[in-house]
Amino acid sequence: MAKVDRYATSRAYLERASKTLAGGVSSNVRRGDKPLPLYFDHAKGAHLWDVDGNRYIDYVLGRGPLILGHGAEEVIEATCRQLERGQIYAAQHPLEFELSERICKIVPCAERVRFGISGSEAVHGALRLARAATGRKIVLKFEGQYHGWLDNILYSLAPHEDAMGDALHPNGVQESRGQFTAAESHVVVLPWNNIAVLEEHLAQHAGEIAAIITEPIMANTAVIPPLPGYLERVRELCTQYGIVLIFDEVIAGFRASLAGAQGRFGIKPDLTIFGKAIANGLPISCIAGRADLMDLIGNGSVGHGGTYNSIPPAVAAAVATLDILAQDDGAVYKKIEKTGQALMDGIRKIGERLGIPLIVQGYGALFYIGFPLGPVDEGQAITNYRTALKVDQEKYNSFVSALADRGVRVIPRGNWFLSSAHSPADVAETLEAVEASLIEVCQPAAAVALGASK
């Protein structure tokens, strides 16, 4: 009897879309989804359904924004109320300052705020601001970190090993054809979590550097936490040399804690960038930071604009989202952390019981899973981009596809996102799928025997 293709409609849609939509998708990141770029019909809470009728427990969550899950009622109601009042004014509205006041109250570094649409453009604005404030050109970023897809910062996110260069002094590698070189864009790349290399570089070149931009949690590569004391020392060095410290919290912001990663770690940058979870899936981003820096935008000396900036429905969604996140002294975060930790612990235990080595690291709201290629030390297994390469990505891709076959959707690069909508029942169902998928991918003979016994 022929096996039924559970993704038949998605395959047909992808073929149809590819005739008019470049690559059949609207973001190149989605081209690598496993088992293929699926098409979805609807979603609610922690679940979504594809066009073939398959239900999934969703740990992709729009790649991070949906901290309250799909279709959070209060957010949807606030958005719809605003849509009835108007979609776009190309002018000011009271919700703008309601949201900016909330952010300035919540986020340690936020004295002034400016809104945009995407994280990429917010990064662009922050870099322009730092260069204007310091009169310097160079921006220092870290290998394996992502700050948007624009030309002037898209370097060494996932460089090929042949192009990376020395581990302590990496090459700045373009991620796309059509980009200028890193030198032409005035970008320098260093390894993350290595304070000695940073100190050495700044001792020689600090006077040329306008900004250091970093994810405070390396969310785009293996959810790597900062080593103890690392961010504190980066902050000290930036203060010492008059360098603008920029935290890219597009992923970590309002997910690591209500006050972001900077609140969780107690480190205050000069500027920070938010997106994703700020409006539970509606398109909005912001630059927030020191008043003296942000006022360069405010007085018009640094250009910043956009037709869709502070578009009312998205701002309404953000106000509603932050109100929910702030309720009951951050009860939502306690729930997410508890649920995510139970899932992480359960996955570790399954790996140990089956004798399958796994890397599981991160936080309850955002964590990473990988298959190590060699022995793993106790504690944190991955500390920077180079160590993140020591995993079996092909095996993980197979694991992702096996999970999808069992109704669990995750991101191929290893990140798992949690929301307040995920329940203990979702965790239990996911752990069953994880165990079956690990056996299928890592112990195929056992999987065949198990299937024969049923």
Looking at 248, 270, 363, 426, which residue is catalytic? 248
Establish whether 13 is a catalytic residue: no
Is 248 known to be catalytic?
A: yes
Out of 56, 230, 276, 368, which one is annotated catalytic?
Answer: 276
3-state secondary structure of 23: helix
Read off φ and ψ for residue 345, nearest 5 degrees.
-60, -40
d(Cα 27, Cα 33) in Å, to the nearest integer? 11
Q: Which residues of 258-273 are buried (b: 16+ CB within 10 A; e: fewer)?
A: bbbbbbbbebbbbbbb
Q: Helices (DSSP H) in 389-443: which residue ranges?
A: 393-405, 424-442
Residue matched to tokens 């106000």: 319
Name 90's Cβ contacts closer than 8 Å, sequence gap at least 6: 307
How far apart CA 415 and CA 437 sit, in angstroms, is: 17
Phi, psi of 452 (to 5 degrees): -70, -25
Tokens 């793993």 correspond to what residue? Answer: 376
Q: How far apart are CA 178 and CA 162, in angstroms?
A: 20
The tokens of 351 are what? Answer: 């790996």
> Considering 56, 146, 230, 396, which one is annotated as catalytic?
146
Number of CB atoms found within 10 A of residue 213's CB: 25
Calpha distance 312→304 (Å, rounded): 18
146 is catalytic: yes
Tell me the catalytic residues. Answer: 146, 248, 276
